[in-house]
Amino acid sequence: MNYWLFKSERATWSWDQQVARGEAGEQWDGVRNYQARNFMRQMQVGDRGFFYHSQDEKAVVGIVEVCAEAHPDSTTDDPRWECVDIKAVRSVPTPVTLADCKADPRLENMVLVNNTRLSVQPVTPDEWAAVCDLAGLNAPA
């Protein structure tokens, strides 16, 4: 199983909206970036991810699970763009802010810290465990 991080502006698609979709999940559409798309193509059902609010909150607020592998993005006719579906697993007890990540030496190489503009990115198992720790989860989700 692999770990990922999904960024969203709350005004565009919020964690509350994601949670409201329940088990059905929602397609992670609108990505128009090759790097981000390529990561989505690597995803498998059951992979886990962090849900991150960019711009205003700048924090990891929830855990999601991939529930459908990459398929054409229905929001465009352009065949280049694909997306996966994700569903909410749980909210985190304590949101982990970008500042928290920058301050933690375990996360100094995290993509979130070093490539601010990438909206879908991989997370290493060690980083996953460290962020879960900061989020107040006793065991990695």
Partner DNA sequence: GCCAACGTTGGC
DSSP E strand boundaries for the chain:
3-9, 26-27, 48-54, 59-72, 82-97, 120-123
- The tokens 């949101």 sit on which residue? 95
CA distance linking residue 49 with residue 56, whole number of Å? 20
> With contacts defined by CB under 7 A, how many residues of the chain interact with DNA?
16
The letter for the amino acid at 119 is: S
Largest CA distance in the chain: 44
Which residue's CB is nearer to DNA, number 37 or number 48?
37
CB of 43 to DNA, least distance (A): 18
The answer to whether residues 74 and 88 touch, using CB atoms and an 8 Å cutoff, is no
CB of 138 to DNA, least distance (A): 27
CB of 137 to DNA, least distance (A): 22
> Should residue 99 be labelled a site residue for DNA when binding is judged by CB under 7 A?
yes
* Contact window for DNA (CB under 7 A) among 42-50, 54-62, 64-72, 129-137: 54-62
> Should residue 54 be labelled a site residue for DNA when binding is judged by CB under 7 A?
yes
Which residue's CB is nearer to DNA, number 3 or number 119?
119
Binding mask 6-25 for DNA (x = CB under 7 A): -x-x----------------
C-alpha distances in angstroms, 2 versus 42, 123, 127? 9, 8, 12
- Residue 82's contacts (CB-CB under 8 Å, 6 or more residues apart) are 37, 40, 41, 70, 71, 72, 73
Binding DNA by CB under 7 A: which of 55, 74, 75, 109? Answer: 55
Q: Where in 107-136 is the site for DNA (CB under 7 A)? A: 115-119
The binding site for DNA (CB under 7 A) comprises 7, 9, 33-35, 54-55, 58, 98-99, 102, 115-119
